Amino acid sequence: MNILNNKKILLIICGGIAAYKSLEIIRLLKKKGVIIKTILTKSGSEFVTPLSITSLSQSKVYQDLFSLENEAEMDHISLSRWADLILISPVTANTISKLANGNSDDLASTVALASNKKIFIAPAMNVRMWEHKSTKENINKLKRYNYKLIGPEIGDMACGEYGEGKMSEPEKIVNELENYFKNLRINNKYKAIVTAGPTNEYIDPVRFISNKSSGKQGYEIAKSLLKNGFDTTLISGPTNLEINDDINLIKVETAEEMFQATLNCLPADVAIFSAAVGDYKAKEASKEKIKKIDKFNLELEKNVDILNYISNHNSLRPRLVIGFAAETNNLEKYANEKLNEKNCDWIIANDVSNKKIGFNSDFNEVSIFYKNKNSEKLKYKPKSEISDEVVEKIINHLN
């Protein structure tokens, strides 16, 4: 089956000698039944013409941001919504900088910034431009914004130099797009549950026991699952985070509420328990505010262990159960103990004594401990990138 047939792809062509390769990309995509619309930047028009693009794509070329004809037919918002996917090829250092810093001074950058679709970029530039620190910083920003990078390759440059910065060949770019849509189709049959954030265990109507979890890692995992095609439910404790409308968000407050929500969402193929569920709750929470006194004794009792319950339940247990462990010492020892005691498949552990990672940080460094396998470390990087790597491993495991 031709996975690209009738897919709608918006191709943005930027300036640079590699722009000529965009014509071959159009030819290959049309051969596979893709419906193509094209935006040609001002600098891109110095290398390829609207006529050559139209001849191959069989559709008009969009160029001007403020065009009465374009706005009447399809404004920049509608154009971004029309596509199943956006491909910027070639993308220059200048356009990379604009997208990374939120600038939108032409139709191409405006559409990209207004888009809610997956955006692939295929860089093409001189090796020194590619290796410049500002370019690297901008690329890292775009990765955090969920842009997907294709290339660049190492090879001879049009300027006569040799190194990294050469645009990937059209065949490779088209293969990347095919793989993206294949993964969406394959993973769409999988249902995933993610728990995230802290829980609040009330002592009285205004006081509660909680922890420092921000929920950021769990939210990023849910986002990564969604963009890879999973039917995703996020069960979240109290946070200030926002999530995609396409994710089924269930907000809870206490451990008991999170437990019941988890049970209601089963069966599932994957369950990722990243929430920092309170271990204890007040044995008897006061129905009225407790007045300040010199001494106050609080009797606690254990909350239900959600990970342990689900992982050891014969009929409810998902195919893949992943737990989290936030430790301050003996990370490997405690993670392996939790892996065995809870009977889960993976434990993802991090050292929260490091102030640069973990709670309330946008960055993390984790180790994944596998049942009956060696562990592996995902080094310090944004939580969004950690999530992408974890989800890629989930996909490989399921398929």
- The answer to whether residue 45 sits within a structural domain is yes
- The answer to whether residue 340 sits within a structural domain is yes
Pair 111, 85: CB distance under 8 Å: no
Last residue of a domain, one of 133, 155, 185: 185
Pair (315, 327) in one structural domain? yes
For residue 135, the Cα-to-chain-centroid distance in whole angstroms is 21
Pair (44, 135) in one structural domain? yes
- Distant-in-sequence, close-in-space partners of 224: CB < 8 Å, separation ≥ 6: 384, 387, 388, 390, 391
What pTM was estimated for this model as a whole? 0.74
Pair 248, 236: CB distance under 8 Å: no
- The answer to whether residue 3 sits within a structural domain is no
Pair (253, 336) in one structural domain? yes
> What is the domain range of residue 143?
8-185
Which residues does the chain have with pLDDT short of 70?
1, 65-76
- The answer to whether residue 371 sits within a structural domain is yes
The CATH number of residue 326's host domain is 3.40.50.10300
Selected catalytic residue, list 14, 159, 265, 344 = 159
Pair 79, 50: CB distance under 8 Å: no
Joined tokens for residue 88: 């910027």
- The answer to whether residue 2 sits within a structural domain is no
H-state helical runs in the chain = 21-31, 50-57, 68-73, 76-82, 93-100, 107-114, 127-131, 133-144, 170-187, 216-227, 255-265, 306-311, 331-342, 383-398
Is 265 catalytic? The answer is: no
Pair (295, 277) in one structural domain? yes
How far apart, in Å, are the Cα atoms of 69 and each of 61, 72, 76, 359? 12, 5, 12, 50
* Distance (Å, whole) CA 212 – CA 357: 12
For residue range 4-18, list pLDDT tens digits in order. 999 999 999 999 899
Pair (351, 219) in one structural domain? yes
Pair (297, 157) in one structural domain? no
Pair (179, 202) in one structural domain? no
- The answer to whether residue 123 sits within a structural domain is yes
What is the full DSSP assignment across 139-162?
A: HHHHHHTT-EE---EEEE-TTS-E
Last residue of a domain, one of 156, 185, 214: 185
The CATH number of residue 118's host domain is 3.40.50.1950
Pair (223, 75) in one structural domain? no
Pair (177, 281) in one structural domain? no
- The answer to whether residue 106 sits within a structural domain is yes
Pair (355, 276) in one structural domain? yes
Pair 311, 262: CB distance under 8 Å: no
Pair (53, 130) in one structural domain? yes
Tell me how many domains the chain contains.
2
Pair (81, 142) in one structural domain? yes
Residue 85: predicted pLDDT? 95
Query: Are β-strands 376-382 and 363-370 bridged in parallel, bridged antiparallel, or unpaired?
Result: antiparallel
* Distance (Å, whole) CA 367 – CA 356: 16
- The answer to whether residue 1 sits within a structural domain is no
Last residue of a domain, one of 148, 164, 185: 185
